[in-house]
Each structure stands twice: as C-alpha cells, then as structure tokens.
Amino acid sequence: MAHQLLLYFGKTLSAFTYKELVMILVGLGLIYLAVVKDFEPNLLLSMGFGTILVNIPFSSALDQLVDGKLSEGALSLLFNLGIATELFPLLIFIAVGAMCDFSPLISNPRMFVFGLAAQGGIFLTMGLALLMGFDINEAASIGIIGAADGPTSIYVSNRFAPHLLGPISVAAYTYMALVPLIQPPVIKLLTTRSERAMRMTYVQRDVSRFKLIAFPIVITVAASIVAPPSAALIGFLMFGNLLRVSGVTERLSQAAQNELANIVTILLGFTIAATMTGERFVNPSTLLIISMGLVAFVLDTACGILMAKGLNLFLPKHLKVNPMVGAAGISAFPMSARTIQKLGQEADPGNFLLMHAVGANVSGQIGSVLAGGLLLALLS
C-alpha cells in the first residue's frame, strides 16, 4: 500500500506543468490580495483557493476520465449549473439591487448622465481590442470589463467568449477593488486643484414612497424596450431594489442582502475558478486582456470627467458640476463615490461631494447594465 501511494504521489508531482505551477502562484496571489490587502476578499479568496484546486493534476474538481467514462467534477458541475446558465450573476443582481439606495439619483436625476457617459470606456476599449486582433465577440467581452460591474462582465463574457471568462472576471473584480488607487491619478491629470475644490450645493429632498416604488418598475420597462436582451439583467437588479423600497418585504430584502449575497458570492468565486486552469489562462493574450481592462477603467473615469467639463461650458454658474463627480459614474459602488469625496476634501476640507457622487455612482450601476444589454442586442 505504501509503495502504491509513493508511486501515485510521484505520478502526481511529475504531471505538474509550468502553467499549472504559475496558476497556483496566481491563486496564492489572489488569496494575498484578499487577506492582506483586503481587495474584494469575499470573491477573491474563493477564486484564489479554487484556482489552486483546479490546477492540481488529476483533481476531481474538474472533469476527468474514470474507467473510460467522463466524470463531471464538482466545480464543473457548479459551473454548468450556475455560470453557463447565467443563474449566479443574475442572483447576485438581486442582492446588489437590494443594497442600492437610488434616492440620491431620484432626487437629482441629472446625475444619470454621468452613469451613461462613464460607460464610454467600454466601447473605446472594445475598439482597441479589435485593433489588437480579437474578434468582435472577444472584443465586446474585454470591453465590458470597463462596466466596473463583476456580474455584468461575467454575464456578457459568458455569452460571447466563455474561454476568456477567467481573466475577464479576475480583471473586473480586482480593478473594482483598486478603484481608490486607479481613479485619483486620472482625476488629477484631467482636473485642476480649483476644479476639484469646486463646491456643489446639495439640497436634501424627500423622495416619496410612490417614486421609490415606481423607479425600479419604470427603469425595467424602459431599459427592456431600449435593449431587450438587458431585460434579465436590469430586471433582477430592479427586483432586488423593489424588495428594499416596497416596505412590505423587509425580511426578503434582508435575506437578499445577506444570505443570498453571501451564498452566491461564495459559489460564484469558487466556480469561476473552473475556467482558470493553466492551459486556458497562461498565454500572452491573458496579460493583454488584463492590461486592457485597466485601460477600460481609466477611459471610463476620463469619459465621466470630460462629460462634466463639457456640460459646465453651457450650465449657469449655480448648476455647474465638480468634474470629479463625473468620474463617479462608473459602476464601482460605493468605492468611487468615497474616492471623489476624499479628493474633494483634499482640495478643500469643507467640500462635501459625497451625495452628488453617490447619485452618479448608482446611476453607473444602471448604466453598466444598459451597456451590457446594448452589446447583447447589437451582437446577438
């Protein structure tokens, strides 16, 4: 028995390839980012451990031959049930919707323009990917990293380029966590200190219960008409929000924000790892995809800022917008809004931009879903 175990141990060690060893290091790196740096720990920890698991030779986590028959591994089964069917990203959207407070946007609807403008990086990066030699579906999947919205990135890339799901997911969630590091240099490059110190008056307006309930319904119908393939994405997001604002489903809202979010996040991160094998992941295109994901975030930030500056050319003085608020139009909620508030107070300690930035930030959540729906509509 001991001899057989030694032989099997030796067989396993000899079966390791350099690509699998690289991916095990990648898995350890993701765990380091989650535990030590606190970057998206709920997802990166699961993803990192799963990456290690699937890159061990003869692992039962993935499909393998047993007595001449293909046996479906645990992660392969979860992937086929939750990712291939698009179920996990949609369930996450219910949880995200239940967590979002759209009242700052409803009370200041002009912030919605920044949630749309900041998605420009998606389409600019898509064009860049086409120039790099990726096909149209792969380019759309790479561009959607700029949505700064993990579930949307997974949903779209799984539809168009499932073989790129691993690097796209890693890039989307890692850069979301790095927004406080990515956005400030771009903002400071495109704005002056006086612009960053610009104050905006915020008037607290009560939002009626009717408006809170009508908002998710109207947005769902309108978005589904504009881009029918986005109906599931926007519908699940807005259903989660309806649970929050209806006033009669507090228990369900709390379950969506807590139990549902926690369970699906564990399964989502762990299951994405099924695509992060050495054979799929370790190649030059992976580094290119991850690099273009960073470009997408930078371009999103720049588009939001430039839109705010453009509007200020035509707005009266009392309605002018601090250009940084435009940068909050990306979907990385609430990291981007907090970053804008911090930069505003660096320029002027008495500056308070948080509520304006939150309005732009939650509008970015809607904008990213619309952008994903438009890609699905145009390319399906």
3-state secondary structure of 329: coil
Least confident of 279-283, 290-294, 324-328: 279-283
Interval 310-347: pLDDT, tens: 999 998 888 899 999 999 998 888 889 999 999 999 99
Band (pLDDT 50/70/90 cuts) for residue 63 is low
Q: What is the pLDDT of residues 338-375, one digit of tens each?
A: 999 999 999 999 899 988 899 999 999 899 988 998 89
d(CA 358, CA 82): 31
Question: What pLDDT, on the 0 to 100 scale, is given for residue 4?
Answer: 60
pLDDT at 70 over 60: no
- pLDDT over 90 (residue 292): yes
Distance CA 101, CA 97 (A): 8
Q: What is the pLDDT of residue 72?
A: 67
The type of residue at 196 is R
Please report the pLDDT score of residue 177 as a whole number: 80
pLDDT digits (tens, 9 = 90+) for 193-207: 999 999 988 777 788
pLDDT value at residue 13: 61
**Dist CA 369 CA 276 (whole Å):** 25
pLDDT value of residue 64: 55
Other beta carbons within 10 angstroms of residue 301's beta carbon come to 32
Question: How many whole angstroms separate alpha carbon 251 and alpha carbon 253?
Answer: 5
Question: What is residue 38's three-state secondary structure?
Answer: coil
End-to-end Cα separation, the chain, in angstroms: 56
pLDDT of residue 15: 63
Work out the number of other CB atoms within 10 angstroms of the CB of residue 288.
Answer: 16
Q: Residue 68 pLDDT more than 60?
A: no
- 21-57 tens-digit pLDDT: 899 999 999 999 889 988 888 888 998 998 998 888 8
pLDDT at 11 > cutoff 60? no
At how many degrees (to 10) do helices 179-190 and 165-177 cross? 70
Q: What is the mean pLDDT of the chain?
A: 87
Instruction: State yes or no: pLDDT of 178 exceeds 70.
Output: yes
Provide the pLDDT confidence category of residue 211 given band limits of 50, 70 and 90. Answer: very high
Grouping H, G, I as helix, E, B as strand and the rest as coil, residue 162 is: helix
Residue 268 binned pLDDT confidence (cut-offs 50, 70, 90): confident
Reference 364, options 304, 290, 293, 302; nearest CA is 304
Question: What span, in angstroms and rounded, lies between the C-alpha atoms of 56 and 15?
Answer: 9
pTM of this prediction? 0.86
State the Cα–Cα distance between residues 326 and 348, nearest whole angstrom: 18
